[in-house]
């Protein structure tokens, strides 16, 4: 099956592309580096020709609600419209566990993305995942400098590889009935403390010579978003499927393979 992957060059996008390929499908990467701009729509219609499903794992790095909302709104409107024109039968989008309970700017953009997807003419499945194991490295990359401030944050992180595989399975399986949006979740095997994860990755990067020594400082963020992150608002519900690779196993593999 030909499946478009919006954001197919990103952290989870690369795993999604390889999971599709491993299962014998034909992934089509939609990214600016592949000649497609999901915000302006440039190159999108031509790239979607013949695609039976579309997976959206595109992303914008930012924390301002207005900026992030504008990005996901534009991407979702363009993808749903052009997927319908191309005759695709299923759109799968990646979201995040707890976005509606944690009033944080980036999450407000993800809520907007889900709202736009609800009016898609093509059936939509949304997978809400926990933070990736890779998130600790992404956080460090976005916070240059000696001191790294991390909110007190309970999370149950999952390997991006397992999220990519779940997205590929969803997209190539049966879509929900027309007019319905199917929601599911995926988290990792263990609850962790985000500052500890970021500290471990910072230490491993410094030990391997791939980064400077960093000091990770955990703070309780005031306000509703901080209370919710510290209080478990990002944790999965009781019956959520769990990935198998724990953060420590993932980190040990990165160190062994030199891929941190």
Instruction: Count the Cβ atoms, other than its own, within 10 Å of residue 255.
Output: 15
> Among 28, 36, 116, 117, which residue sits at the site for ligand NAP (rule: CB under 6 A)?
36
Q: H or E segment at 109?
A: helix 105-117
Q: SS3 string of 138-172?
A: HHHHHCCCCEEEEECCEECCECHHHHHHHHHHHHH
Q: How far is the CB of 94 from ligand NAP (least distance, A)?
A: 4
Cα Rg of the chain, angstroms:
18
b/e per residue 6-34 (b: at least 16 CB within 10 A): bbbbbbbbbbbbbbbeeeebebbbbbeee
Residue 209 Cα distances to 204, 206, 212, 217, 259, angstroms: 9, 5, 7, 21, 12
Residue nearest to ligand NAP (CB): 10
Q: H or E segment at 86?
A: helix 65-86
Of 40 and 244, nearer to ligand NAP (C-beta) is 40
Of 148 and 213, nearer to ligand NAP (C-beta) is 148
Q: Is 31 in the site for ligand NAP (CB under 6 A)?
A: yes
Measured between alpha carbons, how far is 162 from 60 in angstroms, rounded to an integer? 22
Q: Is 259 in the site for ligand NAP (CB under 6 A)?
A: no
Measured between alpha carbons, how far is 206 from 210 in angstroms, rounded to an integer? 6
Q: How far is the CB of 213 from ligand NAP (least distance, A)?
A: 24
Of 183 and 207, nearer to ligand NAP (C-beta) is 183
Q: Is 131 in the site for ligand NAP (CB under 6 A)?
A: yes
Listed ranges 8-16, 117-125, 210-218, 248-256: which one lies at the site for ligand NAP (CB under 6 A): 8-16
Q: Is 96 in the site for ligand NAP (CB under 6 A)?
A: yes
For strand 53-56 and strand 2-6, is the pairing parallel, antiparallel, or unpaired? Answer: parallel
Listed ranges 17-25, 124-132, 224-232, 241-249: which one lies at the site for ligand NAP (CB under 6 A): 124-132
Mask 49-88, x = binds ligand NAP (CB under 6 A)?
--------xxx-----------------------------
Q: Provide CB contacts within 8 A for 196, sequence distance 6+.
A: none
Q: Which of residues 132-161 bind ligand NAP (CB under 6 A)?
A: 132, 135, 138
Of 90 and 106, nearer to ligand NAP (C-beta) is 106
Tokens coding 256: 């062994």
Of 78 and 209, nearer to ligand NAP (C-beta) is 78
Of 33 and 209, nearer to ligand NAP (C-beta) is 33
Q: How far is the CB of 166 from ligand NAP (least distance, A)?
A: 11
Give me the residues that bind ligand NAP (CB under 6 A), please. 7-13, 31-33, 36-39, 57-59, 94, 96, 110, 129, 131-132, 135, 138
């Amino acid at each position: 099956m030909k499946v478009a992957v919006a954001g197919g060059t990103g952290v989870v996008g690369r795993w999604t592309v390889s999971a599709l390929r491993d299962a014998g499908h034909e992934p089509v990467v939609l990214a600016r580096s592949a000649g497609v701009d999901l915000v302006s729509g440039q190159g999108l219609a031509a790239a979607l020709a013949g695609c039976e499903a579309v997976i959206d794992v595109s992303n914008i790095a930012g924390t301002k609600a207005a900026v992030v909302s504008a990005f996901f709104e534009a991407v979702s409107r363009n993808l749903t419209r052009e997927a319908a024109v191309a005759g695709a039968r299923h759109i799968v989008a990646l979201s995040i566990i707890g976005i509606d309970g944690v009033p944080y700017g980036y999450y407000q953009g993800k809520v907007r993305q889900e709202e736009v997807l609800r009016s898609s003419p093509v059936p939509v499945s949304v997978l809400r995942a926990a933070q990736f194991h890779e998130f600790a490295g992404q956080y460090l990359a976005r916070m240059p400098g000696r001191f790294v401030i991390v909110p007190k944050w309970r999370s149950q992180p999952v390997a991006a590889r397992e999220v990519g595989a779940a997205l590929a399975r969803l997209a190539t399986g049966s879509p929900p009935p027309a007019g319905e949006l199917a929601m599911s979740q995926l988290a990792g095997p263990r609850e962790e403390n985000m500052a500890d994860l970021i500290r471990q990755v910072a230490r491993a990067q410094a030990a391997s010579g791939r980064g400077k020594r960093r000091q990770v400082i955990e703070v309780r963020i005031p306000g509703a978003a901080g209370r919710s992150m510290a209080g478990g608002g990002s944790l999965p519900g009781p019956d959520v499927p769990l990935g198998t690779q724990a953060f420590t196993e993932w980190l040990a593999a990165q160190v062994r393979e030199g891929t941190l």
